[in-house]
Structure 1
Amino acid sequence: MSNKIDFYKNLDPYLECKDYTVSGETYQVQINKEYEMLVTTPVPKQLGDYYESEAYISHTDAKKSLLDKVYQVVKKIALKKKLKLINSFNLSDKTVLDIGAGTGDFLKVCQNNTWKVQGVEPNLNARKIALEKGIHLQEHLEQLSNKKFDIITLWHVLEHVEHLQDYIKTLKNLLKENGRIIVAVPNYKSFDANYYTNYWAAFDVPRHLWHFSKTSIIKLFGNEKMTVATILPMKFDAFYVALLSEKYKHGSAKPLTAFFKGLTSNIKAARSGEYSSLIYIIKHN
């Protein structure tokens, strides 16, 4: 089934976005109405080049700018919440695979709390930083094809994957029968996405190839006979994304404005469920 799905067919215009991080290039973000999913076009041939920037903080551990410092503070809080989440499943073997592991902080926290850890990270610099923390990461997911895991996590990773449906099929094959896949992605139906439109930092073209809604995640994993069991909010994301979006829109971060926009997004999402980012807990049918 996964080979037959072409998400680039029957797309309608949605908006035009600029790459504010690396190239300054402009990309079309179009909508696949069947999946309620936005698609970035075109996909650059050398996509890896668009991650080579000190501004791409998940690969560097940078603490230079205000945005860097905010990111690191939020990350520490988020790591505790992520650990609490995976501990809540009471799994006996406690094996976890983190995909897009960055500089290894999440896996380090897991390792310090009796989890058996494996990780995948394509970026060489990030892998080197992780290794300094005692976390050895694989470059490619295929290197783990003979293993099975209790927990597979993708913290803001699925939006970067080129061959989307095939990748989800691979995730399913790596998951134990009673395991969980945890997917965190931005939500283009949030208030902050609608407010900032083409300045919304979580569009992050062309690195983000896909922009998901609840419907799209449910359908994509449903194609592989998997079920979304729970959807959880990532409330801090609204504030960080608003900071970046203000910078893109006005040339400076405008912390006070960003705070109130992030707060507004969370207040509205308390009713609608459409938070800036969402965590999906997924299991076998």
Structure 2
Amino acid sequence: MEINNQLAIYVVSDSIGETAEQVSKAAISQFNIQDYDIRRFPFINEQRQILDLVEEAKHENSIIIFTIVKDCLKGFLVEEATKNNISIIDVMSPILTGFTKVIGTEPKREPGIIRKLDEKYFRKVEAIEFAVKYDDGKDPRGLKKADIILTGISRTSKTPLSMYLAHKHLKVANVPLVPEVPVPKELYEVSSAKIIGLTTNPFKLIEIRQERLKALGLKSEANYASIERILEELEYAEGIMKRLGCPVIDVSTKAVEESASIILEIFREKGHKFSNGKSF
């Protein structure tokens, strides 16, 4: 069979093949050549796939550049390409060998690790953006999309807990409970299984609110930090939480990490599954 003079660059990978493709483009740009075709063959995990692409490549003016990390598949690809006089370039092995010498341990040889890390990172970013968007009851529509809904009166750690749980890739919305402000109807429309109520000791809360007022340059004796107001709010919130039928956590003596751990334990006991596929 007559071989086409166009250069066919076979990009072969046991992951998505993006690394090998970028390397190929960088390399070919150094040559004065326009007649070439880069073809990506991702997720190669069987010898049969290698045989098929080699069979195609041997009838062309071709070169194979690959990022296969599994030794058995890599060896088979090199053997078949060599047998058919096809030029072949291993992108990863020289790099892995260099790192092995410096680090002193063998590589995992697991395909697509960087892609998995990227996906994990973007899930976290998405969860953080969600927590910011639906913080402090800004948009009640987010309650139906949330993995966890936190509710409680002011200064019961709703926002810090939302952000902490977001770093664990969970979508958290929070709703403040204020006697003068109607509870959003969406809070009653979602399952109580994903709602956590937050409460606190009234005298501890007085201290926290007084410090908050000072930070804002306001007088510490304002109604916001009075025992009467705080008891009224706590009683109101308790009634709402009973109506919702949700678990309630006292955060007065707990660090954010401890409260978050209790929340996750509650969901673990329920066998609840979150939108990221995790179950606790």
TM-score, L = length of structure 2? 0.26
Larger radius of gyration: 2
Identify which of structures 1 and 2 has the higher relative contact order when contacts are C-alpha pairs closer than 8 Å and 6+ apart. Answer: 1
TM-score, L = length of structure 1? 0.25
Higher strand share: 1
